[in-house]
A = this chain, B = another copy of it.
Amino acid sequence: MSFASDTAVTPRSPGAFDAEIRPGWDIAGNTNGGVLLSTAARAILATAEQPHPISITAHYLRPGHVGPISIGTEVVKRGRQFATVRAELHQDDKPILAVLATCGDLATQEGGRYIDAHPPELPNFDSLDGKTSAESAAAAFRASVDSRLHPDDAGYVEGRPSGTPLMRGWFALPQDEPIDAIGLLLASDAFPPTIFNLLEPPAWSPTLELTVHVRAAPAPGPLRCRFSTSFRHGGLYEVDGQLWDSSDTLVALSRQIALEPKGTPFTTP
């Protein structure tokens, strides 16, 4: 198994694709949102005939689970530089994800430069053990990706939330699988919710919507990621993500809005 093969799509008819949610990508039985988005994005890029999702937004309608899915795509506008495509992902004859994306070729864009942020400072990749930052509900998912949390942000696993809604860490794929533009979509939703550092015990926190701007094709190597929340109020919180590659380039910006956990807490082993 690999991320690429587990999120592959098969064309069925013009604009329509079949795919399958494989085991190992769920958190407490619900498919990770980044995997759903990545699968939808492969169908979208095929329809767009463009290499990169420059801005992609997904609204999460129902949880996904292991089994077959179908993806319908439609070109909204095909322009000279960009193609805008919408998609709907169905499982058990119900829509589970609605997506809208503008795709293009990042290599053709150019302009000035202004950067006022920097990658998060993290302990060396090899010095961290990904396993220690996995609450049991996410154990299967944490074996499918190689994410390694900053120790300062991982205390929630043992019932010691830091009090700051921040999750920093490395993101890689097992067996040195390269991270491409679609891997950035997975990474954008691959870390524990920031809110796990504000409350306990952890429980399912439903994402309503996730938008990712892919800003550059990543250089080889693990990503350094930073996810933070500035506004938790009214039952909602946003998660702002920065993904940096090994050349210190900001390769993706993500933001999601999620509902506070209200359901059954994840069990701790």
A residues at B contact (CB < 8 Å): 54-55, 57, 59, 61-62, 76-77, 79, 82, 84, 86, 88, 95, 98-102, 106, 109-117, 165, 198-199, 208-209, 211, 213, 215-216, 229-238, 249-250, 253, 255, 257, 259-260
Contacts and interface: CB of A to CB of B under 8 A. Distances in A.
A55 B211 CA distance: 10
Contact of A112 (B82, B232, B259): B232
A41 to B, nearest CB: 15
**Copies per assembly:** 2
B54 A100 contact: no
A98 B165 CA distance: 33
B54 A257 contact: yes
Task: Determine chain A's interface SS by DSSP, over half rule.
Answer: strand
A234 B106 contact: yes
6 contacts: A59-B101, A59-B102, A111-B260, A114-B233, A211-B255, A215-B231
